[in-house]
Structure 1
């Protein structure tokens, strides 16, 4: 499909009481993208089923928390046939509230236990520094009548001088541990010399330590106390986890039922701002692919209790920017569609460049990297990673096939140019012809891009732009005249009057249109228009010459192989083949990556920038889901 699927603007009128069921049915079709209508705010100003929605959201939030806490994964493969009534949702919300109160209390106990366990581990880590002390640690924190005790750390290099200095002040220093280049010490002496000691400690960069309240006994006793505390916490945690398992088993069946009810009700929540109501009548508007409209109508008529009126029409030209683009690609096109999405989403009615990218990517990659052996390595690598990276496998296989095809045309196998005859041309034997082919390819590429731009402008009603823009018909005629004049000048050494007129007429039409479009003083308009006209000339020339890199990389590929063989021929048999193998791997990995980058550069900058706006809206149909807008889900 060269363009996004044809869409219809759908207007669904139904009873407000059936809106939730309609949400379920529309979500099950997977083909309805809700979009607020302008008339909704005027004729249907009310927001329908607000109580239902608020109850659903409350229940869904609690359900998510419970599933997360109990590690419960609901099975949502079976889609319910009916949405729950408001009374059912309210009863479900009350039950979930009751369950969550128990779960939250258990969760709070778990949190407190984890915090206490972290505290115990920190104390155990701190105690390691005091484990070798044969002293009641509580004494180090006591205030004695005649004895002054200080506990702290000093830099390792200051330890010896500090010991000598405190000895002069009638104090004793004991080192009991070393951590991070700081010695842990105890300084003890008569209290009457405490002031003198403080001056010495300050000069030695002494940093006092305060022991936790738990350190009030011999280190061995403190360690046993902490181990006992740790065992108690772990037992409590084990008991709480057992309680969680019991609750999961006890409530699992009912939680599964709750999941299905909420799953069915989620369709209404995913309407967003699309529905409006007045009294007992509701209105929903959105977009549906034309090919799926009849199936959607039939489903609503079959599954709603009361009559429903469904109107549809084609989108107007003014609505085009609002219409989502429904793009459907087969497996082999998915990787290329992803490359297109990296640039943007096609507008509705705009040409989807996926096919253009797919074809031109293969041709340019093959021209730049033509080698039967190297292409086979790409295909083999794709086969080996097909399960883990399926989309990469498609790209590698596709690139490898075109590399092999051009390898046959070039007569190249793992860099060897004479193993098989060239079906078309050997690059190094006729580099000028390679450049001519690359230039001709670039011309066709630019013409195709410009024609697609003209077509896109015409379907959007921008006929002046399609005729007179630099990327429109005037620009295309200017480019063709430029090519004709250039070719005639190369062949004959002169340019005829016909060529000059062919250049002048589209240029004047283009400049005249730009003059009319621009709002500025005459002098400024003249300057800008002349600059843009010159820029158009230069862009067409530079864009065309840019495609010479296709030939340049094709020649470079052969030259790299020759360099590898030149190195290999300097060595004996074993070294020769090791060099050939490693050289070919180097070419495949490094040059292969560079060629991919160059091809994408030509696609994006010389192709997409010419015709592809990429500012479309993706088609995002309603789907049943318990996810919130932030992406949270009870599904793990």
Structure 2
């Protein structure tokens, strides 16, 4: 169902807008509209332009709240004034910035030492004072690495023929880390030879003392000391936030409210009368909220509200707010996927809830598997609040019912008797057609009934939308309803052996609606009192009308036969479970229960998914396409509901 909406215009002194928003509008759900767009006829109307003074402070408050530990217990925020909230955030922000600056300096020093450590670690095998090496005058040194492949080549073919001393410090799976020494006078030539061997040079700072191992210990001690200082700052920050936790959360909530309230000005307008300036806010409320709001402000001398009952005098379309019983609320998910109903349109939530669950149960009738879907979906919805799980639970309920109707429990058909029939066995003899599976006949009959129902719904929607063509002359309007209902009646009478109406009556029943659908365009022009009734190209009109009529007849036939799939899946489900039981050896009286369980899980998962998709396809293409527009816009309330 769609809640009835009221359009409200709220006005008062400009300086009083914050009080009104905080005192009243935050209590009710109101979908605000742009007042400048809605009140174009009002003179001297101008936008309410002010910069939000709470935005930056609120952003800083949100950042501080983000620093609070997620594992801390939740507390109820105490009430604070907006001035106290701003003061709290300013002080906390200053303190946190000072601590963060100290942390940044210490982190930079730690990272610098870590970089030095990473450079010296590969050379721990060099048992010589680094500071001495780094200050050689006549001997050049190079720290670096060579891949294993080139190191072997260098050692075998080059090393003995050049004036250099190579010291291997360390090796890993890919590289050998080395230091080589060379006289200063020939360093350029030797460097070139090493470069040809893909030597990668590393530059070490000259701040080390002792051996590389000594330097590593010294660096690690310094890094540990800096890390301890950083951890101490983190603890200090956490302690500051923890001590101010309640005030911080209260300030954040207050600033959030005031920042959001201030943004309402973007949709407000101002008008001046004499020396006074007034704000104007426009929006939609549900009829129930509108009455409560009007009652609450009745004694407020500064706040005035005008309710516009005639929606024709309002520029914006009313938004759609769905309000359905709890049982059907999860099915709103399917409606939102297709598109929300317009305000004056029928809400199909309850229809899809009933038909989807019923058709799913018909196609997937099994007591055992239905109960699994019912309980599993219910538990998922209970703990995870998943709408799809609630839909599965409803489908499981109908699957259980049809399981009793078909006499199937986890595929076993010898545990209980079928209340109605066995889908694979029961046949019906029809005139002209012969023997046909009964579930196919029932499925097509259900489809015919649903199509007739959707035609009636289309007529109601078209009347509400003041669309004469879709109401009277469309394939899903009155003409289409008369034609299709006559066709259904004739088929039922013929198949049940009852006398069919006389030829003259059949011509009237079928011929007149077809002629009306053929001439729907000129008939609509007559109703709308247009000057030109017939189109200019009469020949093209006849040809186009003939093919459109042929397409209509074909669509009636194909749409009706589309429901055969409902019976086909009921039969295929029974057949698949028969295969599972045959593979488990159930026919021999000693079934393999592992195969029975796995087979049921497979069929329940795979066929359940396929049936769910197929039923949704029937809903969208065979039901919704006939009567549902889905052109509504969502009701997006400002504020909160207490």
**Both proteins in one fold, TM over 0.5:** yes
Question: Quick one: which of 19, 29, 32 aligns to 1:31?
Answer: 29
Give the C-alpha shift of residue 589 in structure 1.
1.8
CA distance, structure 1, for counterparts of residue 89 and residue 30 of structure 2: 31
In structure 2, the CA distance between the partners of 1:204 and 1:15, relative to structure 1 (3 Å rule), is same
Deviation track 1:43-76 (CA, whole Å, cap 9, x = no partner) reads: 36334482xx622324323332333346699967
Number of aligned residue pairs: 611
Q: Does the 8 Å CA contact 2:366/2:411 hold for their aligned counterparts?
A: yes
SS of match in other structure, 1:133: coil
Q: How does 1:83-482 map to 2 (within 5 A)?
A: 89=83, 93=86, 96-137=89-130, 144-145=137-138, 147-163=139-155, 164-179=157-172, 181-211=174-204, 218-248=211-241, 251-252=244-245, 254-255=247-248, 258-259=251-252, 261-262=254-255, 265-266=258-259, 268-269=261-262, 271=264, 273-279=266-272, 280-302=277-299, 304=300, 306-317=301-312, 322-391=317-386, 392-430=388-426, 432-480=437-485
CA distance, structure 1, for counterparts of residue 172 and residue 536 of structure 2: 75
- The answer on 1:56 being equivalent to 2:51 is no
Give the C-alpha shift of residue 98 in structure 1.
4.6
CA distance, structure 2, for counterparts of residue 150 and residue 603 of structure 1: 77
Q: Does the 8 Å CA contact 2:339/2:630 hold for their aligned counterparts?
A: yes
Q: How does 1:475-490 map to 2 (within 5 A)?
A: 475-480=480-485, 483=488
Give the C-alpha shift of residue 539 in structure 1.
2.8
Q: Does the 8 Å CA contact 1:25/1:300 hold for their aligned counterparts?
A: no
In structure 2, the CA distance between the partners of 1:439 and 1:113, relative to structure 1 (3 Å rule), is farther
Question: Quick one: which of 589, 592, 596 aligns to 2:608?
Answer: 592
SS of match in other structure, 2:53: helix
SS of match in other structure, 2:144: strand
Extract unaligned runs of 5+ from structure 1. Answer: 626-636
**TM-score (norm: length of structure 1):** 0.84
- The answer on 1:509 being equivalent to 2:516 is yes
CA distance, structure 1, for counterparts of residue 328 and residue 119 of structure 2: 61
Give the C-alpha shift of residue 308 in structure 1.
2.6
Extract unaligned runs of 5+ from structure 2. Answer: 428-436, 526-533
Q: Does the 8 Å CA contact 1:55/1:93 hold for their aligned counterparts?
A: no
Give the C-alpha shift of residue 599 in structure 1.
1.5
Give the C-alpha shift of residue 206 in structure 1.
3.0
In structure 2, the CA distance between the partners of 1:140 and 1:43, relative to structure 1 (3 Å rule), is farther
In structure 2, the CA distance between the partners of 1:493 and 1:460, relative to structure 1 (3 Å rule), is closer
Q: Does the 8 Å CA contact 1:19/1:268 hold for their aligned counterparts?
A: no
Deviation track 1:223-249 (CA, whole Å, cap 9, x = no partner) reads: 223223322322322332343244335
Deviation track 1:79-107 (CA, whole Å, cap 9, x = no partner) reads: 88xxx6xxx65x75466435423322323
- The answer on 1:540 being equivalent to 2:532 is no
CA distance, structure 2, for counterparts of residue 211 and residue 532 of structure 1: 85
SS of match in other structure, 2:46: coil
In structure 2, the CA distance between the partners of 1:580 and 1:62, relative to structure 1 (3 Å rule), is closer
Aligned CA RMSD, in angstroms, stands at: 3.7
CA distance, structure 2, for counterparts of residue 166 and residue 520 of structure 1: 100
Q: How does 1:520-531 map to 2 (within 5 A)?
A: 531=547
In structure 2, the CA distance between the partners of 1:471 and 1:437, relative to structure 1 (3 Å rule), is same
Aligned to 1:621: 637
Aligned to 2:65: 67
Q: Does the 8 Å CA contact 1:489/1:495 hold for their aligned counterparts?
A: no
Deviation track 1:128-168 (CA, whole Å, cap 9, x = no partner) reads: 422333234456666742x3433333332222112222332
